[in-house]
């Protein structure tokens, strides 16, 4: 039996057929229609799904169910997208709209939770009992999977690990608090740290790498640090301290079997994680335990949403 | 059928017979023998248990199993107390020692987890799906119960909510980090804040209430604030801000159905919680959700350890 996963984003809709082992059989992507009604988007998704099913030489009966992940808050039991700013959805019964189009059971899930489930089931956490995922991007996304189940709290809004305060009264966060982890350790925060340091250091290699302040990326400081640029090394050291502070707090709360770091920055691999691990080894409350949390980078990249959404029916949600 | 719960502390050993609804039928307490071997302590516990069983007019066959909570780290599957500083235990197979004495299955659990399970099963969280408990005492203890199960991570050391950093680089914490929640929001921290403010304010009512700096208690500032002492009100306001910061972060991570505050300070009830709730209502990431975390004080007081330990066999541990 196969499963269909759909990653519904503000820019693109990606969908794929996934095996029960979490392997993608065939996938495809279309642009998300702009300023479209939920009905229109459901139609586009249905067409994309049927196209992929045909492309794979399968028929609709081969697909057990369809999972859809959304960058917003969902009520899975009711099949409702509560709020999705990027798509302009508010209390949309999107699960039912899509079920009507597909003739299949449709399950909804938040995209960060889908990514966590994918890494748990078929990625960096395969075979583990508990996994916490942090996605370092524009913000910091989070997902929690415990004993084969996404944990999403009483209102499906749990896992906002980016919104723990690490610096009371510090940087403004878009959530309305000050000093959130996200305001210090997201890719956006790293870019801010990079730009601030560039302004102080007109001779830094970072200027020639980025071209201008506007073109600074999450990798600028990493690349310059690899060339022994002192200012860049200071940026990385500062960023690492922030990242390790939040990660250590999250480990102290969960002591998950696996703590998985995703998002663009996770491409830096051990360059990113090794100094974080050094701080974690010093500050983890359970640093003397025989069993310790494994800190790893995500394996599934942009496919995590498709895979996690597709595998929903295989897990107790 | 009845259950026996034992709360093994450094000073006292309390034990009680508990019904399957979490009611204590009969309980009793003895002093913990000083500098005693694990064998000796097991003997004292067994004698206490049999005495209570006789006192309740029951016989050993009426007791299904025995649960023991310990202020330290335990390996429940192996029946081992890994570390318990107060008792001087390190890797002690205490479950087996006690099983031999009692002729009953014995389950071990960390005391903070036992308290959380008790409030979940029979206290402030009865009937809820997820509960996070914080105990404000010398430190900040924590316990997590999700879907009828204590969550304790890969090494049974999860739930150290006192050791999330809320002020990077701030106050030293005994865990080795700086700026931990515990260093700002435990009863110990409140006493420190109180003493610091008293030194600055020789005319504060806090002086006459406490007598001296050495006699400051967790309630000193609350009592003086109730009498409109300005300095005390500043202490409470500062303490509340710290407490609310950590609590809001924990709500953002878990969005539990119930967040339960225990420990001596929880006796302040709404005087303590109401200003915290005001900040939480403003800063909770899910403040607009229909379902919100209920912030409540613990109901079971010092009996929570006995009740939680006793009820272990009724929950999936």
pLDDT digits (tens, 9 = 90+) for A34-48: 888 999 999 999 999
Query: Which A residues in the span 63-122 are in contact with B, Cβ-Cβ below 8 Å?
Result: 73, 82
Contacting residues of A for B292, CB less than 8 Å apart: 154-155
Q: For residue B169, give the chain A residue with the closest CA.
A: A167
Q: Which of B289, B293, B315 to mutate to test the interface with A (most CBs of A within 10 A)?
A: B289
- Of the pLDDT bands very low, low, confident and very high (cuts 50, 70, 90), residue A77 is very high
Q: What's the rounded mean pLDDT across residues B67-94? A: 94
**pLDDT for B42 beyond 70:** yes
Q: Is A255's Cβ below 8 Å from some Cβ in B? A: yes
Q: Residue A218 has what pLDDT? A: 96
Q: Where in chain A is the domain with CATH 3.30.420.40?
A: 2-118+303-314, 126-298
Q: Is B157 on the interface with A (CB under 8 A)?
A: yes
How far is it, in rounded angstroms, from Cα B148 to Cα A219?
A: 44
Minimal C-alpha gap between B270 and chain A (Å): 23
Which positions in chain B touch A249 (Cβ < 8 Å)?
A: 163-165
Helix axes B94-102, B38-55, angle to 10 degrees: 40
CATH: 3.30.420.40, 3.40.50.1360, 3.90.1300.10, 3.40.50.970. Which one for B127-298? 3.30.420.40
Query: Which residue spans of chain B are classified as CATH 3.30.420.40?
Result: 2-118+303-314, 127-298
Residues B82-119 have pLDDT tens digits of: 999 889 999 999 999 999 999 999 999 999 999 999 99
pLDDT per position as a tens digit, B191-226 = 999 999 999 999 999 999 999 999 999 999 999 999
Whether the pLDDT of residue B316 is over 80: the answer is: no
Nearest 10 degrees: Cα torsion A14, A19, A22, A26: -30
Q: Read off the pLDDT of residues B120-164 as tens digits, 9 standing for 90 and up.
A: 999 999 999 999 999 999 999 999 999 999 999 999 999 999 999
Query: To the nearest whole angstrom, how far is the Cα of A242 from the nearest Cα of chain B?
Result: 8
- Report whether pLDDT(B18) > 80: yes
* Chain B residues 168-187 with a CB less than 8 Å from chain A: 168, 175-177
Structure tokens, B110:
């960390």
**Cα A144 → chain centroid:** 11
Q: How would residue A86 be classed by pLDDT, with cut points 50, 70 and 90?
A: confident
How many CB atoms within 10 Å of residue A281? 12
Q: Residues B272-293: what's their mean pLDDT?
A: 96
Domain A126-298 belongs to what architecture? 2-Layer Sandwich (3.30)
The token pair at A244 is 């390790």
Supply angle C-alpha B177, B181, B186, rounded to 5.
Answer: 115
Q: Touching check for B19 and chain A: CB below 8 Å?
A: no
The order of strands in the sheet holding B73-75 is B73-75, B80-84, B89-92
* Whole-number pLDDT of residue A284: 97
- Render pLDDT for A263-281 as a digit per residue (tens, 0 to 9): 999 999 999 999 999 999 9
**pLDDT band at residue A317, thresholds of 50, 70 and 90?**
low
Mean of the pLDDT values across residues B23-35? 95
Q: Is residue A316 predicted with pLDDT exceeding 80?
A: no
> pTM of the predicted model, to two decimals?
0.96
Q: Output the average pLDDT for chain A.
A: 96
Residue B220 in tokens:
């000193």
CA quadruple A72, A77, A79, A83: dihedral sign:
negative
**How many angstroms separate the CA atoms of A182 and B85, rounded?**
37
Chain B touched by A130 (CB under 8 Å) = yes
CA angle, residues A168, A173, A175, in degrees to nearest 5: 110
pLDDT more than 90, % of chain B: 97
Size of interface A-B (CB pairs under 8 A): 143
Long-range contacts of B84-88 (CB under 8 A, 24+ apart): B86/B9, B86/B10, B87/B8, B87/B10, B87/B32, B87/B38, B87/B41, B88/B35
Going by pLDDT thresholds of 50, 70 and 90, the confidence category of residue B317 is low
Cβ neighbours for A285, distance < 8 A, ≥ 6 positions apart: A251, A252, B157, B160, B163, B175
**Level-2 CATH architecture, domain A2-118+303-314:** 2-Layer Sandwich (3.30)
């Amino acid at each position: 039996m196969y499963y269909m996963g759909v990653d519904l984003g503000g820019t693109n809709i990606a969908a794929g057929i996934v095996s029960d082992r979490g392997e993608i059989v065939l996938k495809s992507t279309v642009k998300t229609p702009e300023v479209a009604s939920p009905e229109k988007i459901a139609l586009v998704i249905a067409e994309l799904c049927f196209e992929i099913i045909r492309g794979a030489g399968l028929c609709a009966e081969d697909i057990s169910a369809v999972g859809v992940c959304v960058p917003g808050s969902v009520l899975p039991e009711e099949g409702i997208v509560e709020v999705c700013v990027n798509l302009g959805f508010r209390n949309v019964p999107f699960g039912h709209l899509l079920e009507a189009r597909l003739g299949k059971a449709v399950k909804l899930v938040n995209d960060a939770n889908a990514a966590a489930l994918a890494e748990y089931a078929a990625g960096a956490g395969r075979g583990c009992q508990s996994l916490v995922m942090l996605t370092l991007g524009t913000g910091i996304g989070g997902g929690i999977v415990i004993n084969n189940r996404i944990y999403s709290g009483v209102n499906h809004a749990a896992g906002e690990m980016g919104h723990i305060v690490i610096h009371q009264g510090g940087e403004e966060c878009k959530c309305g608090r000050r000093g959130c982890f996200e305001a210090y350790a997201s890719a956006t925060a790293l870019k801010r740290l990079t730009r601030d340091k560039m302004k102080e250091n007109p001779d830094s290699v970072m200027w020639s790498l980025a071209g201008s302040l506007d073109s600074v990326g999450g990798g600028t400081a990493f690349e310059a640090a690899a060339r022994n640029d002192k200012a860049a090394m200071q940026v990385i050291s500062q960023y690492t301290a922030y990242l390790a502070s939040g990660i250590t707090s999250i480990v102290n709360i969960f002591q998950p079997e696996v703590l998985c770091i995703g998002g663009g920055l996770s491409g830096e691999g051990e360059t990113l994680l090794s100094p974080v691990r050094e701080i974690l080894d010093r500050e983890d409350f359970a640093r003397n335990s025989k069993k310790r949390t494994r800190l790893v980078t995500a394996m599934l990249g942009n496919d995590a949403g498709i895979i996690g959404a597709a595998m929903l029916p295989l897990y107790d949600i």
